[in-house]
Amino acid sequence: MNIKAKLDQIASNLLPAYFALVMATGIVAIAAFIYQFIWFAKLLFYFNIVAYVALWIINIYRIIFHSENYKTDIQNHRRGPGFFTIIAGTNTLGADFLVIGNHTEIAFILWVFGILLWLFYQYVVFASLMFSNQKQPLDQSINGGWLVAIVSTESVALLAAQLSGNHIWMFLIAIIFYLIGYFTYFIIMPLIYYRLLFYNIQPKDVTGSYWINMGATAITTLAGSLILIAGENSQVGQFYPIINTLKSFIQGATFLIWSYGSWWIPLLFMMGYWKHIINKISFKYDSQFWGAVFPMGMYTVATYKLAVTLNIPQLKIISDFFVYVAIVSWLYQFGAFLLAFYNKFFIRTN
C-alpha cells in the first residue's frame, strides 16, 4: 500500500476524538506558560496551530470522500461523543491565542466558531444517538469519552469568561454554559460509574478516555474560577448584578467538583497499573491517550487558578507537582505518536 492509499485509509477511519491532541497540547502549553516554561509553551502553541489545521483538512477530506463513515460515527455510541473534541479543541486553541499569543481578536473568532460547533455537534450527536434503532447495551456503549460533552460545554464557558472583559455580554453566556456543563456531569458520570462497578472490564477497555472522569471536573473548576475572576470586574458587576447572588454558590460548587475530580486521580492510576502491569498490556501508541494527557494539563491549570481565586495557596503544591506530570505525559505521547507515524509511513511502505 503506497503513502497516498495509507493517507486515504487514515482519513476514512479517523477517530472522531482525535482533536483531543489539540486539547491536550493546548492546555499543557498554558500550564507550561503559567510556570514560566515560555519557550516550551510557545513551541506547543505553534505546533497546536499546525495540528488543528491538519486535522480540519483530514476531517473535511473525510466528509467529502468518506461521508458514510462520518455519518456512521455520529450514530455510534462509542465513537460519536468523540466529535465533541472538535469543540473543545477549538476553544482550547482560542485560549492559547489569548494567553500565549496575546491575540484577542483571533481568540474571539475561535470562540464564535466553537459555539457554532457546539450548537451543531451537541444536538446532532445526541439526537442521532437518541433516535437510533441500533442501540447497544450500556457496557458496550458508554465510557469516559462521553464526558467530553461536558468538556466541550465548559470550554465555551471558560473562553467566554476570559473574553468578557472585552465583550461584557459574554459573561452571562459563560455562567449559562458553566451551569449546563456542571449539571450534565452529574447525569453522565453515574452511568460511567455504574458501568465500571457492575459490568466486567477487560484490560483493552481501560483507555485514556477514562481520565476524562477527572478532566471534566478540572475544566469545570477552571471555568468556575475564571467566571469568579471575571466577576470582579466592576463593569461586569454593573451589567450582571446576578454575579453577586451567584458568587458564593459558584465558589462552593467549583470547590466541590474539584474535590471530587481529585478523588478520581489515584483510582485512575490504579486502573493503568491493573492494565499494564498486572495484565501485561504493553505500552504503545494509543491515540485515545491524548484524552489522558488533557486532564493532567487541565488539572494543573485548574488547581492553580482555584488556589488563586479562593485564596488557598496550599493547593499550589498540587499544581506545582502536576505540571511536570502533564509535560512528561505529553512528551511521552508525542514521542509514541512520532514513532507510530514513522513505522506506518516509512518502515512498512518499503
To 10 degrees, the CA torsion angle through 61, 55, 126, 185? 180
The reported pLDDT for the residue numbered 1 is 54
Cβ(210)–Cβ(293) below 8 Å:
no
- CA gap 150, 180 in Å, rounded: 8
- CA gap 75, 69 in Å, rounded: 10
- CA gap 107, 113 in Å, rounded: 10
Q: Is the pTM of this model over 0.85?
A: yes
Q: For the chain, 350 residues long, give each residue's pLDDT as a single digit of tens.
A: 566 676 777 778 888 999 999 999 999 999 999 999 999 999 999 999 999 999 999 999 999 998 899 999 999 998 999 999 999 999 999 999 999 999 999 999 999 999 999 999 999 999 999 998 888 888 888 888 999 999 999 999 999 999 998 899 999 999 999 999 999 999 999 999 999 999 998 888 888 889 999 999 999 999 999 999 998 876 777 777 778 888 999 999 999 999 999 999 999 999 999 998 999 888 777 888 899 999 999 999 999 999 999 999 999 999 999 999 999 999 999 999 888 877 777 765 44
Helices (H) and strands (E) in the chain, counts: 14, 0
For 60, the domain range is 3-347
**Number of structural domains, the chain?**
1
How many residues does the structure list for the chain? Answer: 350
Q: Any idea what the CATH number is for the domain that residue 97 is in?
A: 1.50.10.150
- CA gap 96, 102 in Å, rounded: 8
Nearest to 294 by CA among 258, 315, 325, 270: 325
The reported pLDDT for the residue numbered 236 is 74
